[in-house]
Amino acid sequence: MLRTTVEFINVFFFVYILLYSGFLFLSTLVGALTLEKDSRKKTFLSEVTLSDASGYMPVSILVPAYNEALTIIDTILSIEKVDYPEFEIIVVDDGSKDATAQTVIDYFQMTLIKRPIRRQVPCQEVKEIWEAVHRQIHLTLICKENGGKADALNMGINASRYAYFLEIDADSVLQKDAVKNLMEPILEDDRIIACGGMIQVSNQAVIVEGEIKSLTFPKKWLVLLQMLEYCRSFLGSRLFFNGFSGNMIISGACGLFRKDLTVACGGYDTGIVGEDMELVVKLHHYCKCNSIPYKIINVATANCWTQVPESLSDLKKQRRRWHMGLIQSIALHRDIIFNPSYGVVSMVSMTYYLVVECLGPLIELVGLLNIVAAIYLELIYFDFMIRYFILFILFSALITITIFLSRIYLTNTEVKVWQIGKALLFSFIEAFGFRQLITLFRLSAFVQYRKYKDYWGDITRKKNTAN
């Protein structure tokens, strides 16, 4: 019985790795082609700015903030410089214990006002509302009782005036053309109800008054590894899922949504730690059940710069929280799993996120234990196993460096030869070493679920300087 089980797991794991490798190859190919298409579009088509168009739609930009005094001003200043004809900024201070609210009030010389807010989605009570009355861009600060990021976003939705809202983290910086690039697909196709931006690592950026003045290649190994990982994820799999509106995640650091549908499906869920994925899955669920034509996409040219953890302890907290949010989102919408009535969203997207993203760490752990059992039962061919493993590592590293170089080439980013060499070396480290470490962090989400399922976890922030 044991021998049969071990042999079955060997075959399953071989097929699992083979299919995953095929997915990596296909998503990388699609990502590179999408980048090339966008590059050609900018090169050969005449630039038509949205400020010249009569059909643009105004946007509410929501900034949930909790203990973000160090970064909040740069974030707001970057938003004010956005190249878009009409938008408002709503900063929601979620009961910060530091000087987040006072920093914003003092810098922008804000005035305390009284204003009714209609509760369309649930949120905690308002304490104070401030406005910057003398600025060209309409800026509002709402101070409220602590309820978490989802609760703060719900407050922002309730206070917003426009039909579309963009959420952005308080430690992030929007590129000048990000909002325009997010809204352009919506103006071209009204079936698009949500767009995600491309998240870039800002730890190596120097930001002055909200503008990125210079970028240096990351010196810290942990930052560089995450930069390569983000590049593969956002410019690979997420663009691949665009092809059939199968995206199940839009990053909480930069996501644009249609407000009426968000309100109709209940807004952000305040009871989980993965509110960004849960909202996207809920929108899929709502639109399918109500026969609403829709698309959910990620936009390769909408860049948002955000800080990533610089210590292993912060990285563990972040990845554990992400994985707990994934588990919660899938559990809440488990009726979509293997349900043909949801089409490719169920049979492809949900299956991928369940098997590869959610259960992947457990599958890898079972595979490792099975290798030990196979060695004990003398059912393993070491030469084949080692060659297969080395081939997978080489393939994974090649995928990562390919998508990285594609982005560098097609966006005309200047890099030096030694930087490309360093990126190549770290692509191998990312495939063998870093990825296994992330798997351990994700496994901790299962082991420590009861303890941390409601815990957000504080990540160390800092001023953006070259590092």
pLDDT value of position 175: 86
pLDDT value of position 466: 42
**Would 12 be classed as within a structural domain?**
yes
Residue 53, token pair as written in the block: 């168009």
Place of tokens 């070396």: 425
Beta strands in 87-137 (DSSP E): 87-94, 111-113, 126-132
β-bridge mates for residue 64, sequence order: 92
Cα distances from 282 to residues 241, 269, 330, 333, in angstroms, run 17, 10, 10, 8
**Would 254 be classed as within a structural domain?**
yes
Residue 48, token pair as written in the block: 């038509």
Residue 247, token pair as written in the block: 């995206």
CA–CA dist 299, 303 (Å, integer): 9
CA–CA dist 28, 222 (Å, integer): 23
**Would 398 be classed as within a structural domain?**
yes
**Would 35 be classed as within a structural domain?**
yes
For 17, residues 6+ apart whose C-beta sits below 8 A from its C-beta are 388, 392
For 275, residues 6+ apart whose C-beta sits below 8 A from its C-beta are 148, 149, 150, 153, 252, 268, 269, 325
Cα distances from 64 to residues 75, 92, 94, 150, in angstroms, run 11, 5, 7, 9
pLDDT value of position 33: 77
pLDDT value of position 372: 79
Residue 430, token pair as written in the block: 């990312």
CA–CA dist 204, 464 (Å, integer): 8
**Would 465 be classed as within a structural domain?**
no
Residue 365, token pair as written in the block: 């752990």
User: What DSSP designation does 71 have?
Assistant: T
**Would 214 be classed as within a structural domain?**
yes
pLDDT value of position 210: 57
Give me the long-range contacts of 224-227 (CB less than 8 A, separation at least 24). Answer: 224/422, 224/423, 224/426, 225/426, 225/429, 225/430, 225/434, 226/201, 226/308, 226/309, 226/315, 227/201, 227/308
Q: What 3-state DSSP class applies to 222?
A: helix
Name residue 120's amino acid. Answer: Q
Q: How many domains does the chain have?
A: 1
CA–CA dist 2, 13 (Å, integer): 16
Tens of pLDDT, residue by residue, the chain (467 residues): 777 887 777 778 778 888 888 888 888 787 777 767 766 666 554 444 444 555 689 999 999 999 999 889 988 998 998 989 999 999 999 999 999 999 999 999 999 999 889 999 999 999 999 999 778 889 999 999 999 999 999 999 999 999 999 999 988 888 888 999 999 999 989 999 999 998 888 887 776 665 666 667 788 999 999 999 998 888 777 888 888 888 899 988 899 999 999 999 999 998 888 888 999 999 999 999 999 999 999 998 888 988 899 999 999 999 999 999 999 999 999 999 999 989 889 999 999 999 999 999 998 888 888 877 877 777 777 777 788 788 888 888 988 888 888 777 766 667 788 888 998 999 999 988 999 999 999 999 998 877 766 665 666 666 554 43
CATH number at residue 128: 3.90.550.10
Other CB atoms within a 10 A radius of the CB of residue 456 amount to 12
β-bridge mates for residue 62, sequence order: 90, 167
Whether 252 and 280 have beta carbons less than 8 Å apart is answered as no
* Torsion angle of the four alpha carbons 177, 178, 179, 181, in this order, in degrees rounded to the nearest 10: 80
Q: How far apart are the first and last CA of the chain?
A: 56
pLDDT value of position 391: 87
User: What DSSP designation does 432 have?
Assistant: I
Q: Which range of residues forms the domain containing residue 249? A: 1-455
pLDDT value of position 144: 95
CA–CA dist 344, 456 (Å, integer): 32
CA–CA dist 191, 207 (Å, integer): 36
pLDDT value of position 364: 85
**Would 467 be classed as within a structural domain?**
no
Residue 122, token pair as written in the block: 């649930």
